[in-house]
Amino acid sequence: MLACAAWTAGWVLAAALLLRAHPGVLSARCTDERSRRILAALCRDYRGGVLVGELCEDLCVAGTLQYRRCLYSERGKKVLQADWRGRPVVLKSKEEAFSSFQPLGLLEAEAEGDGDQELPEAELLLLLAGEVRNALGLELANGSLGPLWPAGRWGRRRRGQLASLWALVQQEEFVLFSLLQGLSRHALPVLGSCGHFYAVEYLAAGSPQHRALFPLDQAAGTPRGGRGQAKAVSDMALSFLDLVRHFDHDFSHRLHLCDVKPENFAIRSDLTVVAIDVDMAFFEPKMRELLEQNCTGDEDCNFFDCFSKCDLRVNRCGAERANSNLQVICDKIFRHWFSSAPRSPGISFLLQRRLREAVLECADPGVPAGSTQGATPSVFRKLQRLLQATLRELQAAEK
Ligand SMILES: Nc1ncnc2c1ncn2[C@@H]1O[C@H](COP(=O)(O)OP(=O)(O)O)[C@@H](O)[C@H]1O
Ligand SMILES: [Mg+2]
C-alpha cells in the first residue's frame, strides 16, 4: 500500500517537474501531430493558391524548410522550431488557422465583381497604413510601409499575396519586427513568411530555470566556471542597458516594454540581448492610449509592467508612464543576477556591494529619495560604470 502511494507520488512529482521545465510539452496543443497538421493545412492552402509567401516553396515543395518541434502553443498562438537550409528558425503565428484571420473585405468584393476591377495600389496602401495604425498606433507615411509591401510585384498570385499580407499585418508582433528590420540589433529580423506564419531566427531564449537566466552553453567563448559565468552575466547586463538606451531614444517614439521576463528575451552567441516577444511592446502614442483609463486608485493604472498614477481629482490614470524600461529590467532581471546570487569569484566585495545597491536603487527609485520618476539617467550611468569595472576586475583576475 505504502509502496503504491510512493510510486504514484513519484510519478506525479516527475510529471510536475517536466511541466515546470517545459510548459508546452504536455499541453494538448503543443504536440508534433497537431503542428504537422497545421503545416499540412498551410501547404494545402498554398497549393490551392489561397496563400503565398517566400518560404512556401521551401516548406511545401522543396522540403528545405523542415518542422522540428513545437516550442509553445497557447490561446491559438503557435511557436514552432524548424530547420531552414541547415539553420534553426522559428515559425510563429498568432492563430493556428489561416481562416481565423479577418479577410480583406474589399478583396472579397473584388472577387464578386468582374475580375478586371482590381483595387488600385494607392487604395491598398491606404488600407495597409490603417492596419499599421491599428496594430502600433503609429501614423506612417506610405514611404515607411516599404518593409511590409511586397515590392510592387503582385505577380500571378495577387489574391493569395494580398490575403497573406492581410493575415500577417493583423499580427502586431509581425508588424513591429518588420518595421524594426535593419534598425535594431535588439529585435528579431523577419526571415520570410508563408501565409500567416512568419519565420525569425531561433535564438537561446531565457528561462527562470537557468542559473544565469539564459543558456550560456551555446554562447561563444564563455569559459566554464564561476568567472566565466560572471563575465557572461556582465556582458548580458551591458547589452540590456544598450537595449534600454536604444528603445528609449533611437526611434521617433519611445518603445515601452510592458512584459519583461527572461522568457521574452534571448541571447545571440555574442551575448547580445534580443527581444523575441514584442506583443506587449508599445510606442509612446499607443502606450498613452492604453494607460489613460478611469481609476479610483493607482492600482487601476497598472498595465502589466507599465504603470501610471491615478489623478483622483478627475479619476483618470495619467497618460504618462510613471516607471521605465530600465526600472523593470532592473527589477525583473538584474535583481536576480546581482542581488540574490552568491558571491562571484574574481570580483571584489566592494564592487559587488556597490552593484547590488545600484540595482536596488534602479529597481525601486522611490525608496531612498522619495522620487516618483522612473529610474534616472544617473543610475543608468552608474550601472554601466560598475559593470565595466566588473569586466576589468574579471579580466585582471584571469592574468
Ligand atoms: N526566436 C525564438 N528563438 C527561440 N525560442 C523562441 C523564439 N521565439 C519564441 N521562443 C520560445 O517560445 C516561447 C513563446 O513565444 P512568445 O513569443 O514569448 O509567445 P507569447 O507571446 O505567447 O508569450 C518563448 O518564451 C520562447 O521560449
Ligand atoms: Mg512570451
Local confidence band at 24 (pLDDT 50, 70, 90 cut-offs): very low
Question: The C-alpha cell of 253 is what?
Answer: 517614439
pLDDT at site 101: 95
Q: Mean pLDDT score of the chain, rounded to an integer? A: 88
CA 347 – CA 264 distance, rounded (Å) = 29
Q: Is the CB of 200 under 6 A from ligand 1?
A: yes
Q: Is the CB of 326 under 6 A from ligand 1?
A: no
**What letter would DSSP give residue 186?**
T
* 200 Cα nearest atom in ligand 1: 1
DSSP string, 271-315: --EEE---TTEEEHHHHHHHH--B-SSGGGGEETTEE--EETTTT
Average pLDDT value for residue range 271-279: 97
Centroid of ligand 1 to alpha carbon of 266 (angstroms): 9
* 188 Cα nearest atom in ligand 1: 1
Question: Between 158-169 and 105-112, two packed helices, what is the crossing angle to 10 degrees?
Answer: 160
Q: Is the CB of 202 under 6 A from ligand 1?
A: yes
Centroid of ligand 1 to alpha carbon of 120 (angstroms): 38
285 closest CA partner among 174, 142, 133: 133
CA 296 – CA 290 distance, rounded (Å) = 16
Residue nearest to atom 6 of ligand 1 (CA): 205
First-to-final CA distance of the chain = 61
CA 164 – CA 99 distance, rounded (Å) = 11
Q: Is the CB of 277 under 6 A from ligand 1?
A: yes
Residue nearest to atom 11 of ligand 1 (CA): 71
Ligand nearest to the CA of 79: 1
Is the predicted pLDDT of residue 71 greater than 50, yes or no?
yes
Is the predicted pLDDT of residue 3 greater than 70, yes or no?
no
Q: Ligand 1 test: best mutation among 87, 91, 276, most atoms within 8 Å of CB?
A: 276
Local confidence band at 391 (pLDDT 50, 70, 90 cut-offs): very high
CA 325 – CA 336 distance, rounded (Å) = 16
Domain 205-398, what fold?
Transferase(Phosphotransferase); domain 1 (1.10.510)
Stretch(es) of the chain classified as CATH 1.10.510: 205-398
Partners of 204 in the β-ladder: 267
**Tell me: the pLDDT tens digits for 172-220?**
999 999 999 999 999 999 999 999 999 999 999 999 999 999 999 877 6
Q: Tell if the pTM clears 0.85, that is, is over it.
A: yes
Q: Is the CB of 128 under 6 A from ligand 1?
A: no
pLDDT at site 7: 53
Q: Is 105 left (phi over 0), alpha (psi -120 to 50) or beta?
A: alpha
Q: Ligand 1 test: best mutation among 22, 79, 84, most atoms within 8 Å of CB?
A: 79
Average pLDDT value for residue range 335-352: 86
**What letter would DSSP give residue 30?**
S
Is the predicted pLDDT of residue 103 greater than 90, yes or no?
no
Is the predicted pLDDT of residue 18 greater than 50, yes or no?
no
Centroid of ligand 1 to alpha carbon of 79 (angstroms): 7
Centroid of ligand 1 to alpha carbon of 203 (angstroms): 9
Residue nearest to atom 2 of ligand 1 (CA): 202
Is the predicted pLDDT of residue 371 greater than 80, yes or no?
no
CA 225 – CA 128 distance, rounded (Å) = 52
Is the predicted pLDDT of residue 251 greater than 90, yes or no?
yes
Question: The C-alpha cell of 54 is what?
Answer: 517566400
Residue nearest to atom 18 of ligand 1 (CA): 277
* 75 Cα nearest atom in ligand 1: 22
* CB distance 214 to 262 below 8 Å: yes
Phi, psi of 308 (to 5 degrees): -135, -175
Local confidence band at 223 (pLDDT 50, 70, 90 cut-offs): low
Least confident range of 10-19, 116-125, 197-206, 247-256 = 10-19
Q: Is the CB of 177 under 6 A from ligand 1?
A: no
Local confidence band at 26 (pLDDT 50, 70, 90 cut-offs): very low
Partners of 77 in the β-ladder: 74
Partners of 266 in the β-ladder: 205, 274
Average pLDDT value for residue range 155-172: 90
Residue nearest to atom 14 of ligand 1 (CA): 72
Is the predicted pLDDT of residue 335 greater than 50, yes or no?
yes
Centroid of ligand 1 to alpha carbon of 72 (angstroms): 7
Report the share of the chain in percent with pLDDT over 90: 71
Q: Is the CB of 209 under 6 A from ligand 1?
A: no
**What letter would DSSP give residue 98?**
G
220 closest CA partner among 268, 269, 272, 274: 269
Centroid of ligand 1 to alpha carbon of 90 (angstroms): 9
Local confidence band at 25 (pLDDT 50, 70, 90 cut-offs): very low
Ligand nearest to the CA of 275: 1
Residue nearest to atom 5 of ligand 1 (CA): 205
Residues near 281 by Cβ (< 8 Å), separated by ≥ 6? 176, 255, 256, 257, 258, 259, 275
Is the predicted pLDDT of residue 2 greater than 70, yes or no?
no
Is the predicted pLDDT of residue 155 greater than 90, yes or no?
no
Q: Is the CB of 266 under 6 A from ligand 1?
A: yes
**Tell me: the pLDDT tens digits for 84-95?**
999 999 999 999
